[in-house]
């Protein structure tokens, strides 16, 4: 394990070396001025053509030379005439030739007509001059030019080198401390620093590499939101609002609960998987799936499998994806119901977010279009008021009105899920998710500040004995594969692929924004998981195991729990357990399984350490419970809408009209079917402790990661089919890893001889006891014993079925990849044809100086009004 962490610190050191490698060039090179002139429509130019697929047209807005052009894979700044032509690195001779001859910037024409034939004869069919020759009136800010300078890779400035060198060094030191600290407690600060530095380096370098070199994001191409805008599902959305929606939709129970449970193995395995997993697997999956879905009009991952892999693998994928989706939604909804069933504070506060979100949606679209910051300030103010008012309601005579039964909450969730699925996305779903993100990020950021201020020491071991024995009291299984199954959303989650191929690709403004929304959104969720494992590891191990062990292990009293935990090798007294419960205002914390109560206790300890002291720990505990419910609910509404998309895609293969998202009867019918499916399992689970969704709960983690294996298979196949075989390793490596993990876990869950782990062994154990008339926990009578046998049978069959379906998809995908490799050429894909975009918008969270200049050149200032400003972008002058 130490070697693994040392590898992390080595990665940081290598990052330093990579940055420093450019330092001598930066300090010694001379700035070269490029020379260019408008090309003569009748002149003959050199036939050297840029080899980057989907290149750019070399047209420079007049009066705005030097800003970053819309071209994937380049960041050529400082050139007064725009980008230079990239040298073909595969041929040194050609690179030398580029130094001597004029180079024409070429772009494949999309939708060219016969009027370009004369220009094409003079300059070649790919010439930008051939493009402009067909225009009756070229846009005034464009000029057809030839550049007489070689392409040079943009070099980092001295300030950038210093900053990233410092980040790399600090990150390497933090990883080194984590790796080398043995036999002593370390501060949680080191985990926070290691995570933040790793995220920064990954986003700055690896994510940009994927966007530019692998995906070749092209901001000249119109996204589905721009081309198909119908104001319901397809809607051009400001990147900041969309980031909030995407983060809220993907960040559910996983990053909160999974790391808490995985702390049974120690803080080190989970932390490594959360950070390394998100950098190389989770964020990559989200970003690539989002991009490829966007290039296919926002198709779901199941339909993409059907279109790109083939009928056999596609049908298997559609069945697996939709079935797993219903299970995931049911489980997430059950967590929300359990959190809100006895919390009038949480019920009131969450209910108030709905009218607040509706107000924000209309405010941003109708009353004050484009005022994102203004709307955010109002919305956050109202949200804070709702949270504070929830505390007042809990202590008032209104508490009874907002203390709802679980059955009532089920109907409320089903009704809300249906409404959120059919209403226009700008009206409720997007603003509510955006609003929820402020609370989510604000709480997590405050936790990080609390860690930095109080510098708490981790009480948990780096690696516990349960990591290798597999007999832990929280859950059975060894470190491999179950740490990588227990921690899903914080590192890699198949559910994210559903969102990335569901709502988000239908709302994104520009292709380059997939880096911010896809990769950046996943990094944000990963940090949530880091804070969750820190919160769990700050607790005394005796309290942790007393809370998370089932009642059959620790009993129900303080005395029985203290005895059981002591037998596990940890020290805790009944007085300690009683004092911990009294501090958070609970009658008991014994056997409060599931992870959520443990996280709430950890959060309350951090907050009370620097905000209010021990006297406010109970307040912060109940705030954390409400926060968790709000955190998870946003995945249910977005997931329901995505489930509707998936069902429409699937049924659209049989009957075309229902596959159209603009056909309202189809929207209503499929939405009702989706909420009816997960609502049935949820209601049955609430009314029967051993039935309904409780039957399927044990399948949640493995099924989610199987879905990730499916998604990575689909995107790998598309990369290979589209001629990007040399970059397929970006998704193939995480695919190989998650396939190994999930298949191992599936095999053990089915065939393990340990009844705590294997469904078959569990079924046999309860069936034998039932024949003898015995009652085993958790059953309380013979009828429940029969229910446990039935549940184990269902879990056994579904686990095997899901694994087989994913194997079919992987094998069929491998066949398609092999076919493309053998043919040695690209295979047809379902990517939509190029349509030129008329929107200019920043790629990142904050516009750069070049992007601000480009917005001005496009014909609208930063404060111009109109619908295009409301969408966070500007229309180019002369383009409508």
Report whether the peptide linkage leading into residue 778 is cis, meaning its omega lies within 30 degrees of zero: yes
- Please answer whether residues 65 and 82 qualify as being in contact, where contact means their C-beta atoms are separated by less than 8 angstroms: yes
CA proximity to 517, closest of 224, 870, 844, 846: 844
- Please answer whether residues 161 and 22 qualify as being in contact, where contact means their C-beta atoms are separated by less than 8 angstroms: yes
Instruction: Give the 3-state secondary structure of 95-111.
Output: HHHHCCCCEECCCCCCC
Per DSSP, 204 falls in state I
Q: How far apart are the first and last CA of the chain?
A: 59
Local structure of 147: helix, strand or coil: strand
Alpha-carbon gap, residue 241 to 358, rounded angstroms: 14
Looking at residue 14, its pLDDT comes to 46
Residue 151 backbone dihedrals phi, psi, to 5 degrees = -70, 130
Looking at residue 67, its pLDDT comes to 35
Residue 692 backbone dihedrals phi, psi, to 5 degrees = 60, -130
- Given the structure tokens 């309350």, which residue do they identify? 604
- pLDDT tens digits, residue range 653-697? 888 888 887 788 889 999 999 999 999 999 998 888 777 777 788
Alpha-carbon gap, residue 611 to 608, rounded angstroms: 5
Alpha-carbon gap, residue 560 to 545, rounded angstroms: 13
Looking at residue 504, its pLDDT comes to 95
Instruction: Show the tokens assigned to 27.
Output: 């300090």
Instruction: Show the tokens assigned to 371.
Output: 């005022």
CA proximity to 248, closest of 364, 320, 332, 325: 332
Residue 526 CA to its chain's centroid (Å): 9
Alpha-carbon gap, residue 669 to 673, rounded angstroms: 6
Looking at residue 877, its pLDDT comes to 43
Q: How many CB atoms lie within 10 A of CB 817?
A: 22
Residue 436 backbone dihedrals phi, psi, to 5 degrees = -65, -30
Which residues, given as ranges, of the chain have pLDDT below 70?
A: 1-154, 859-880
Local structure of 531: helix, strand or coil: helix
Looking at residue 268, its pLDDT comes to 95
Local structure of 836: helix, strand or coil: strand
- Please answer whether residues 544 and 536 qualify as being in contact, where contact means their C-beta atoms are separated by less than 8 angstroms: yes
Give Cα separations from 169 to 164, 209, 332 (angstroms): 8, 21, 40
Instruction: Show the tokens assigned to 814.
Output: 């491998």
Alpha-carbon gap, residue 755 to 840, rounded angstroms: 59
Q: How many CB atoms lie within 10 A of CB 768?
A: 12
* H-helix or E-strand spanning residue 735: helix 729-751
Alpha-carbon gap, residue 69 to 75, rounded angstroms: 8
Alpha-carbon gap, residue 259 to 463, rounded angstroms: 14
Looking at residue 100, its pLDDT comes to 31
Local structure of 25: helix, strand or coil: helix
Q: Which residues have CB under 8 Å from 786's CB, separation 6+? A: 770
- Please answer whether residues 709 and 324 qualify as being in contact, where contact means their C-beta atoms are separated by less than 8 angstroms: no
Alpha-carbon gap, residue 497 to 370, rounded angstroms: 29
Alpha-carbon gap, residue 809 to 777, rounded angstroms: 38
Instruction: Show the tokens assigned to 804.
Output: 């087989």
- Please answer whether residues 491 and 282 qualify as being in contact, where contact means their C-beta atoms are separated by less than 8 angstroms: yes
Alpha-carbon gap, residue 112 to 117, rounded angstroms: 9
CA proximity to 117, closest of 132, 135, 104, 130: 130
Looking at residue 112, its pLDDT comes to 38
Provide the β-strand partners of residue 147.
36, 103
Q: Which residues have CB under 8 Å from 840's CB, separation 6+? A: 854, 855, 858, 873, 874, 875, 876
CA proximity to 251, closest of 522, 594, 503, 536: 522
Residue 873 backbone dihedrals phi, psi, to 5 degrees = -140, -175
């Amino acid at each position: 394990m130490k070697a693994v962490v040392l590898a992390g610190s080595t990665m940081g050191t290598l990052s330093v070396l990579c940055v420093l490698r450019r330092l001598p060039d930066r300090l010694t090179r001379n700035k070269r001025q490029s020379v260019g002139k408008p090309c003569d429509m009748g002149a003959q130019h050199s036939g050297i053509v840029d080899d980057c697929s989907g290149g750019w047209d070399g047209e420079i807005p007049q009066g705005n030379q030097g800003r970053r052009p819309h071209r994937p894979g380049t960041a050529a700044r400082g050139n007064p005439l725009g980008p230079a032509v990239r040298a073909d690195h595969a041929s040194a001779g050609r690179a030398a030739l580029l130094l001597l001859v004029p180079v024409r910037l070429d772009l494949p024409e999309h939708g060219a007509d016969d009027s370009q034939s004369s220009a094409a004869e003079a300059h070649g069919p790919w010439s930008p001059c051939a493009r402009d020759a067909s225009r009756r009136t070229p846009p005034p800010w464009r000029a057809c030019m030839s550049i007489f300078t070689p392409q040079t890779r943009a070099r980092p400035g001295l300030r950038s080198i210093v900053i990233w060198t410092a980040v790399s060094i600090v990150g390497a030191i933090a990883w080194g401390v984590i790796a080398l600290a043995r036999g002593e407690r370390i501060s949680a600060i080191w985990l926070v620093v290691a995570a933040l530095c790793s995220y920064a380096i990954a986003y700055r370098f690896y994510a940009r590499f994927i966007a530019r070199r692998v995906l070749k994001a092209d901001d000249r191409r119109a996204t589905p939101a721009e081309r198909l805008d119908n104001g319901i599902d397809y809607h051009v959305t400001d990147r900041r609002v969309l980031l909030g929606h995407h983060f809220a939709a993907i960040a559910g129970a996983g990053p909160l609960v999974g790391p808490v449970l995985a702390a049974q193995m120690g803080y080190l395995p989970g932390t490594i998987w959360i950070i390394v997993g998100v950098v190389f697997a989770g964020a990559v999956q989200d970003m690539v799936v989002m991009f490829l879905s966007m290039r296919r009009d926002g198709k779901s991952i199941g339909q993409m499998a059907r279109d790109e892999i083939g009928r056999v693998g596609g049908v298997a994928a559609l069945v697996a994806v939709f079935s797993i989706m219903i299970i995931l939604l049911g489980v997430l909804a059950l967590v929300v119901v359990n959190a809100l069933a006895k919390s009038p504070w949480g019920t009131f506060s969450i209910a108030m977010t709905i009218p607040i979100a509706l107000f924000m949606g209309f405010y941003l679209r109708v009353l004050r279009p484009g005022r994102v910051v203004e709307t955010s300030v109002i919305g956050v103010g109202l949200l804070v008021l709702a949270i504070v008012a929830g505390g007042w309601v809990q202590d008032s005579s209104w508490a009874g009105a907002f203390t709802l039964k679980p059955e009532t909450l089920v109907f409320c969730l089903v009704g809300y899920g249906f409404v959120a699925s059919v209403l226009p996305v700008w009206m409720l779903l997007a603003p509510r998710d955006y609003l929820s993100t402020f609370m989510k990020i604000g709480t997590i950021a405050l936790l990080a500040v609390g860690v930095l201020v109080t510098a708490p020491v981790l009480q948990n071991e780096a690696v516990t004995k349960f990591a290798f024995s597999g007999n832990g009291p929280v859950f059975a299984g060894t470190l491999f594969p179950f740490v990588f199954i227990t921690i899903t959303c914080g590192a890699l989650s198949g559910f994210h692929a559903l969102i990335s191929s569901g709502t988000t690709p239908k709302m994104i403004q520009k292709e380059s924004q997939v880096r911010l929304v896809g990769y950046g959104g996943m990094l944000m969720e990963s940090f949530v998981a880091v804070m969750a494992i820190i919160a769990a590891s700050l607790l005394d191990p005796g309290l942790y195991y007393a809370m998370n062990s089932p009642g059959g292990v620790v009993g129900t009293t303080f005395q029985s729990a203290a005895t059981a935990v002591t037998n596990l090798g940890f020290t805790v007294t009944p007085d300690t357990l009683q004092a911990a419960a009294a501090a958070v205002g609970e009658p008991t914390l014994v056997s409060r399984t599931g992870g959520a109560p443990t996280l709430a206790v950890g959060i309350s300890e951090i907050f009370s350490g620097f905000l209010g002291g021990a006297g406010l720990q109970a307040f912060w505990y109940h705030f954390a419970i409400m926060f968790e419910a709000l955190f998870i609910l946003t995945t249910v509404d977005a997931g329901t809408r995505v489930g509707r998309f998936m069902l429409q895609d699937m049924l659209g293969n049989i009957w075309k009209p229902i596959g159209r998202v603009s056909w309202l009867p189809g929207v209503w019918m499929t939405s009702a079917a989706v909420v009816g499916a997960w609502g049935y399992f949820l209601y049955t689970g609430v009314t029967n402790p051993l039935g309904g969704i409780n039957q399927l709960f044990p399948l949640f983690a493995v099924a989610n990661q199987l879905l990730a294996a499916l998604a990575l298979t689909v995107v790998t196949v598309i990369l290979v089919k589209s001629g990007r075989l040399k970059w397929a390793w970006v998704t193939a490596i995480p695919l190989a890893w998650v396939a190994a993990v999930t298949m191992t876990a599936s095999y053990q869950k089915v065939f393990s001889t340990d009844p705590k782990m294997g469904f078959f062994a569990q079924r046999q154990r309860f069936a034998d006891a039932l024949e003898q008339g015995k009652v085993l926990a958790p059953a309380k009578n013979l009828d429940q014993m029969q229910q446990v046998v039935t549940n184990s049978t269902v879990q056994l069959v579904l686990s095997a079925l899901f694994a087989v379906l994913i194997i079919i998809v992987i094998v069929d995908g491998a066949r398609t990849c092999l076919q493309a490799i053998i043919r040695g050429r690209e295979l047809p894909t379902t990517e939509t044809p190029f349509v030129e975009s008329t929107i200019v918008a920043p790629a990142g969270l904050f516009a750069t100086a070049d992007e601000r200049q480009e917005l001005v050149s496009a014909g609208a200032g930063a404060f111009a009004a109109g619908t295009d400003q409301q969408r966070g972008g500007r229309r180019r002058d002369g383009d409508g």
